[in-house]
Amino acid sequence: MNCQVCGGLMQAKFTDIPFKLDQHNIRIIKDLPVQECGQCGETLIEDHVMEEIEPLLGKEKHLSELEVMRYAA
């Protein structure tokens, strides 16, 4: 797969990604499988992975401004 930004080669990788849930809350998902461009660093989360993490990013009450969760497939 090629990068949509620069055309470089996308490579499978695990990384930590922050998601801003609202104005005051951020949730970091650790060890998330992504595709990352080796040339420009653009990151792509595949659809099936996004479907799995959407419940983790849900609208439930946030107990803290910053939460860190580990991705478990």
Q: What is the mean predicted confidence (pLDDT) over 43-67?
A: 86
> What class does CATH assign to 10-70?
alpha beta
Whether residue 67 has pLDDT greater than 70:
yes
User: How many CB atoms within 10 Å of residue 58?
Assistant: 9
The domain ranges of the chain are 10-70
**What digits encode the pLDDT tens for the residues 10-53?**
999 999 999 998 888 899 999 999 999 999 999 999 999 999 99
Full-model pTM: 0.80
Strand segments, DSSP code E, in 1-73 are 10-20, 26-37, 43-44, 66-70
Residue 50 to residue 32: CA distance in whole angstroms: 10
